[in-house]
Structure formats: structure tokens, C-alpha cells
Amino acid sequence: MKIDSGRIDAFLKSSNLPLVLLHGPDAGLVAERGLILARGVEGAMQDPFRFAELMNPAADVLLAEAMAAALTGGRRVVRVRDVHESHTKALETLIKMPPEALVILEAGELTAKSKLRTAAEKAPSVAVIACYAIDQARLPSAISSRLRAAGVQIDQDAAAWAGQNLSGEEGPLGQALEVLTLYAGEEKRLSLADVSAVLADGGDSSMGDAIDAALTGDPEATDKALSLAYEEGIAPVGLLRVLLAELQRLRVAAGAMADGASAQEAMAAMRPPVFFKRQALVGKALRLWPLPALDQALSAALTAEAACKTTRVPEHDYCRQTMLALALRARAAGRR
């Protein structure tokens, strides 16, 4: 069954259905809502026996994970990324035999003719949530609202300027708002000059330097910039969220390249726009990170974010380990 847009936030906070299909062109929003649902099952993401994350799995693997019992007790969560039409029969099986686990299916845009979407919308045991970018007209008010929720006030003309220069997609928008929130500092207020300066220069910071160095294969620079970011008070979870948003942006561009666009065309379509000083870095990252590698990097960053929120994990060390692993992988890719 479809979940109307006005009911989505309430549903995400108190979902009691066994199956949820998230679909739409905004990959960042699909991922964000999937994460909210997974976190809603208390303790599941911190227990390897209660949480499984699958990337475009075979149908039998999906069914086996969905039906598996939690060895340690409590409800399991099975998060399935990159779902396609080929998973329709598996979904139909789960509709007939609803699992005890929460099964989250994350797909791209599904047309009205999609068999997967049709099967889900007809079933009362499946919640179907469409994920679309915020339209340009509503973007300034959405930016103001989300910054206000983070304790930051933004001037009206600054919000209008940001609305004209940012994408309504969750990945790039979340990244930009994260940077703006950090830039606001203790004053907790943003003027037009603040916003235009941050968004025009790409929000240069030790945090941004660490992410750029990791994604372009420079472990030494990653480690140095990360140490500076920690000294500046950047929290590992905040850094990982910005990393996730940047990986989502790269994934959209890599997808365009896979469909035939040149690297320059894909980069030109990125939102927010790539500042000219960073174009060489972003172009290099696109060469080093094809789609499959970006999917693995996203999975690693999501795992790191979840781990850094637990009390048992040394978050600064875990974040550093994740960033250095990405840098080493990118460097290895550059040597092939």
C-alpha cells in the first residue's frame, strides 16, 4: 500500500509492517529513509545476528535472510539495496509468508508499469514510499526548516540564494546543510554572505580535505587532514555523514557516465555545482570509483556511521580506519 507524503514521517517513526519498499529517483533520500527505518528497530544495527545488509542479492539469498531467525532474540532487520524487477517473485513470496523481520527494499525509480511496485502497492503488508527530490519552489523553506531543526537561523535572502544554487536531492542537500551548520559555529546564524561564500568555494575545511584525500587515494594527506578536523572539534559521525553525501553525489555522476555521459558532462550536472578549484579532484575521484566500488564504499561508510554511534566503539579510531581504507583502495585503483 502507498504511504501518502503527509504520512511518511509518522510512518518512519512507528513502522509495524514487515515489508517496506522505498523507491524513487532521489537515491540519497531512499538511503536516508532506509537508515531511519533500520534504526527504528532498537539495537538491531548493533547486533550482527539481527542486522543484514544486502546489495542486489540473488532471490534465494534475499528470502533466506528475510526468513532467518534472530539467534540473540529481538527483531531482525534486513536492508536490501539496489532492488530491481528481478526481485518481484521474492517479494511475492514474502507477501504470502510475511517475515518476522523488518525487510527494507531500496530501489531506484519504478514506473507505474513496474511489476515490483504493483505487487507491493496491492499488498496490505507492504508499505510503499516514493522518494522524490524537493522541488525548487519549496527548497528555500525546506532549507530554513532543516537548519532551524539543527539550531541554526538563516536569513531569508540567504535561504532564497541557497534554494537557487542547491539540489533538492537528499544526498547533495544533506551535505550542503551539514557544512552550513558547521560553518554557523557558535553564532548559529547564517547571512547571505556566509552562505554564498561556503557554497561558492565548496566549503573548504579540514573535513573536506580529508574526504577529498581519501577519495583520490592519498592516505598520508587523509590522516593529516583528519587529525586537523578532530582538533577543530569535528565529530566522526558528522564527518561520515558528509562523506556519505559526497559518495552519493559521485554515484549519481558515475551512473550518468555508465549511461554514456562523459566525465565532464556528469560533473557539470552535479548539484550543488562543483567549484572550479575542485573539478580536478572530483574528476580524479570519478576515474577511481566506478559504480560497484562506490556501492561498497557507501556500505562501508554506513556501517562506520552506525558503529560510531555505539558506546562500545572508539569512534575517532573507527572513522580514521574507514577513511584510510578508502584512501588505500583509491590509491590501489590508480596504480592499475
pLDDT string in tens for the chain (336-residue length): 999 878 898 899 888 899 999 999 888 889 889 999 999 998 899 888 899 999 999 999 999 999 998 777 889 999 999 999 999 999 999 999 999 999 999 999 899 999 999 999 999 999 999 998 888 788 999 999 989 988 999 998 888 888 877 878 877 788 788 888 887 878 899 988 778 767 754 444 678 889 999 999 999 999 999 999 888 777 888 788 778 878 988 998 999 999 999 988 998 887 656 766 778 899 999 999 999 999 999 999 999 988 888 777 799 999 999 999 999 999 999 887
Domain end residue (candidates: 171, 200, 229): 200
3-state secondary structure of 328: helix
Distance CA 196, CA 155 (A): 12
Specify whether 234 is located in the same domain as 300.
yes
Long-range contacts of 7-14 (CB under 8 A, 24+ apart): 8/33, 8/129, 11/127, 11/129, 12/36, 12/37, 12/40, 13/40, 14/40
What pLDDT is attached to residue 213? 95
Integer Cα distance of 235 and 112 in angstroms: 42
Same domain (yes/no): 268, 180: no
- At 130, is the secondary structure helix, strand, or coil? strand
Q: Is 336 helix (H, G, I), strand (E, B) or coil?
A: coil
Distances from the Cα of 44 to the Cα of 36, 37, 52, 64, angstroms:
12, 11, 9, 18
Distance CA 80, CA 103 (A): 7
Q: Is 164 helix (H, G, I), strand (E, B) or coil?
A: helix
Helix (H) or strand (E) holding 121: helix 115-122
Report which residue type is found at 98: P
pLDDT at 204: 47
Residue 119 is placed in which grid cell? Answer: 505487487
| Residue 129 amino acid letter | I
List of residues 6+ apart from 11 with CB closer than 8 A: 3, 127, 129
Together in a domain, 330 and 234: yes
Q: In this structure, are 154 and 210 located in the same domain?
A: no
Pair 229, 159 in one domain: no
Q: Which residue, chain included where needed, has cell 552550513? A: 180
Residues sharing a CB contact under 8 Å with residue 239, sequence separation 6 or more, in sequence order:
207, 210, 211, 226, 229, 319
pLDDT reported for residue 218: 96
* pLDDT given for residue 21 in this prediction: 97
CATH code for the domain in which residue 21 is found: 3.40.50.300
Q: Which residue is it, cell 552519493?
A: 248
Tell whether 215 and 165 lie within a shared domain: no
Question: How many structural domains comprise the chain?
Answer: 3
Dihedral sign from CA coordinates of 36, 42, 45, 49: negative
The b-or-e profile of 23-50 (16+ CB within 10 A means b, else e) is: bbebbbbbbbbbbebbebbeebbebeeb
Question: What CATH number does the domain containing 161 carry?
Answer: 1.10.8.60
Q: Are residues 210 and 328 in the same domain?
A: yes
| Domain of residue 265, residue span | 206-334
Does 150 lie in the same domain as 123?
A: no
Same domain, 188 and 212: no
CATH number of the domain bearing residue 227:
1.20.272.10
